[in-house]
Amino acid sequence: MSPPAAEMARGRPRLAERYRAFLPITDATPLLSLGEGFTPLVRLGRIGGDLGLAHLSAKVEGQNPTGSFKDRGMVVAVSKALEAGARALICASTGNTSASAAAYGAAAGLEVVVVLPRGQIAAGKLLQAQVTGARVVAVEGNFDQALRIVRELAESTSHPITLVNSVNPFRLDGQKTAAFEICDDLGRAPDVLAIPVGNAGNISAYWAGFRDYRAAGLSAGLPRMFGFQAAGAAPIVLGHRVEAPETIASAIRIGDPASWTKAAAARDESGGLIEAVTDDEILAAWRDLARLEGIFCEPSSAASLAGIRRLAAEGRVDRDATIVCVLTGSGLKDPKTAQENVSGLLVADPTAAAVTEILGW
């Protein structure tokens, strides 16, 4: 067999196997996979050109199986839950954690219960959980309250249930793999890693990943970690909890982040920052990613680029720095926000002449 054919027969390695040395995986772990990870690092040539940034790229995490980075952590958390004999998974969610838990739970044959803030979940995410068979409980409250409820349930029930929010350490272990991939693609760590911050697990996981990889001698350097919260949901920036977080970026609409301390440490140890971006800045970045680069991410994801744009305008980023913006999830999840921000259809009679006329050619 020629080498390419041999590789095809083997298939690409599973994420948790590729980075097994850094994960809590043993021979006793029943390893799942839906094909997570190995997402592309895409150069943002046009936006970078506009900003005068020579090396700007995006880690497109919407290309994971359920359309967000949550799959990296979920595959490890659910595999470990299986290993521990769990029969059920539970989580609170702004949408993507529940979509991911529901999918991996289905693949593992586990019962899945998700507790969501009612009316605050993007349509695609809610449907993902429902279609894959999770039981969805909508509470009249926000994400922070939903998280408190599932933490309490996971501690008090005699049901063999595993909590799979990012307070589950296996989630953050799995999410480190995105940092490994970036180092593998670049041949070293980037100078700056820009990332949206909600519950603050992901920024913490990336920082741990960059440090682990360097400590193992597999990458050089460490990035400065630049986290961005939405202005209406910016507890870490403000230095206090936000009781009623509000932003169009529903995946980061969180007022009391579970990994607050870890995120602050990532910021400080890396010489980075955590700042707020407005909904207008987020939407402008979201629109430009689609129109100038062809990348349709969800609005929350664009907080990373929105932040870099602000810093570039203020002359606070080095023009020659290697900058990676993490785009955390797929734009297909949130059709409502997209619908509200696109121009209408051009409607014409079914003739070439009518179409020509409406195009103004």
Ligand X SMILES: *Cc1c(COP(=O)(O)O)cnc(C)c1O
Q: Where does this chain bind ligand X (CB under 6 A)?
A: 68, 70, 96, 166, 196-202, 251-252, 298, 300-301, 328-329
Helical axes 123-131 vs 96-108, angle rounded to 10°: 20
Shortest CB 301 distance to ligand X, Å: 5
CB-based burial label for 244 (10 Å; 0-12, 13-18, 19+):
exposed
Smaller CB separation from ligand X, 31 or 281: 281
Which residue has the closest beta carbon to ligand X? 329
Smaller CB separation from ligand X, 68 or 177: 68
Smaller CB separation from ligand X, 67 or 105: 67
Shortest CB 151 distance to ligand X, Å: 15
Smaller CB separation from ligand X, 83 or 279: 279
Phi and psi at 247, nearest 5°, equal -165, 155
Smaller CB separation from ligand X, 73 or 105: 73
Q: Give me the DSSP letters along 280-319.
A: HHHHHHHHHHHHHH---B-GGGGHHHHHHHHHHHTT-S-T
Shortest CB 194 distance to ligand X, Å: 12
Who's near 283: CB < 8 A, 6+ residues apart?
Answer: 248, 299, 302, 341
Shortest CB 198 distance to ligand X, Å: 3
Shortest CB 40 distance to ligand X, Å: 17
Shortest CB 136 distance to ligand X, Å: 17
Smaller CB separation from ligand X, 177 or 300: 300
Which residues sit opposite 193 in a β-bridge? Answer: 225, 324
Q: Are the C-beta atoms of residues 102 and 109 closer than 8 Å to each other? A: no
The pair of structure tokens assigned to 306 is 């929105």
Q: What is the C-alpha separation between 250 and 254, in angstroms, rounded? A: 8
Q: What is the C-alpha separation between 95 and 117, in angstroms, rounded? A: 9
